[in-house]
Amino acid sequence: MRASCVINQTEIMKEVQLSHVWEYQLFDAKDLRSSKGELIRILDQGVLNVNSGPDFIDAQIYVDGLLMVGDVEIHIKSSDYLKHGHRTDAAYGKMILHVVYEEDVHLPFLNCPTVELKGRVPLQYLRHVQPTSKLDIYCRSLWRNDTADKFKVEMERTWRERLLKNRQAHLELIRRFYPYDVKLLYQLLFRVFGQPVNQDAMELLFARIPFEKMMGRLSIMDWEAVLLGVAGFLTALAEDVYIIQLRERYRILKMRFMLEEIPASLWRFSRMRPANFPPVRLIQLAQLCALLPNSLEHLKKRNVAEALQWLHELDIQTSLFWQEPRVLQGYTIKASYQLLSKQMKASVFANAFVPYFLALEEDSQVEPLIESVSRSLAKLPAETNHVILQWNRLLPSITSMADSQMILAQYKLKCIHQKCMHCLVGVSVCKD
């Protein structure tokens, strides 16, 4: 039975959703006919084309009993064929079917049938993609008792997919950084300490620092001077003796390494707890930058359990100067007595050490390493942020970082992009 809907279906449906509908055959194909009345029977919907040209290739359909093999093009409205300039594009010469949500104009020059799917797409799918809610979890209202089990399978698959995808990007960076592959680890650390709101500023800061010349040669105070100085936090006059010393040290290091500041205005402080202020994170990061060179050979063994233990035992205190509130560039800051909280250590492990290890590992050993990572993450507490809090309402069993990392992968790769038909949950709830 065809579903009816009082909402404006054409405005709700987007081409990516219609492509999902066709790829997964999420429509009523009974007595499917073209605009000319030809009976259409789908033998094979074709393969999604990720390159230029028609949306699906190598499709097989019967048109009034005659088998046709070729390409399928997808549009919300038939007039989009003209708007997109396909009429003069030779790449569309093998089309055997034009699939539209609404045939607003007839295209007599097409040498293939046109089928309209309006009224044939299930009502629950239309509601599912309807952008009337600000919720990130678009399928929330469609979950059933067995959906959580399907989602756990899906999010683990997506997490692995994300790890492998990131590994390819990191391999390229290692080739670019050669022979200083450890620069990748530093870059990942900068991202961790900058997330979420100051990641762009941290990336720019990382790009301004010549790690090849500095690694293993600078003291903690030197690193504090470099990071705070290049970040633009040492430009204002100060009365504190230590900050004056940092400014002088930065002046020397700036000339030695030809350093250049980034605008301090790039850093965001609003709606942020003082413990997360950028200068505080940079002071903490300076401790780690000074420590890493002495532990690199040990860490490069890529033993996940040992690396986690190394982070767990890491207990470096910031200099006594930072134990009392200080004014830096107009902001009152106080660094934590401990370099890294347990949660921050876990984040460093999951988001810096793990991808670095995967990038260094031989291809044949990647899967065993991922298994080891999964076991280690299962021993760490789950992250707490607005994404995890939303999912906790559907999945109360989010207890470890293994769970939260998988959910974040699913959210970032699929949920926020509404790639629902690339998800086991999306496909199942829309087919039922």
- For the chain, what is the mean pLDDT? 84
Q: Which backbone phi and psi does 76 adopt, to 5 degrees?
A: -70, -50
| pTM of the model as a whole | 0.70
* Direct distance between the N- and C-terminal alpha carbons of the chain, in angstroms, rounded to an integer: 13
Kind of pairing, strands 95-102 and 66-77?
parallel
pLDDT at 343: 85
Out of 38-42, 128-132, 241-245, least confident range: 128-132
Predicted confidence (pLDDT) at residue 21 exceeds the cutoff of 90: no
Rounded Cα–Cα distance for residues 371 and 364 (Å): 13
pLDDT at 20: 79
Q: Locate tokens 């830096």: which residue?
A: 328
Rounded Cα–Cα distance for residues 331 and 325 (Å): 10
Q: How far is CA 77 from CA 5, 84, 387, in A?
A: 18, 11, 35
Q: Which helix (H) or strand (E) holds 268?
A: none
Predicted confidence (pLDDT) at residue 127 exceeds the cutoff of 70: no
Q: Is 364 helix (H, G, I), strand (E, B) or coil?
A: helix
pLDDT at 131: 42
pLDDT at 270: 75
Rounded Cα–Cα distance for residues 13 and 118 (Å): 10
Kind of pairing, strands 40-44 and 56-63?
antiparallel
Confidence class for position 152, pLDDT limits 50, 70, 90: confident
Q: Do the Cβ atoms of 98 and 78 come closer than 8 Å?
A: yes
Confidence class for position 307, pLDDT limits 50, 70, 90: confident
Q: Is 110 helix (H, G, I), strand (E, B) or coil?
A: coil
Output b/e per residue, 44-53; b: 16+ Cβ within 10 A: ebbeebeeeb
Confidence class for position 95, pLDDT limits 50, 70, 90: very high
Q: Which backbone phi and psi does 397 adopt, to 5 degrees?
A: -85, 15
The pLDDT tens digits for 336-393 are 544 577 888 889 999 999 999 999 889 999 999 999 999 999 989 898 888 888 888 7
Confidence class for position 317, pLDDT limits 50, 70, 90: low
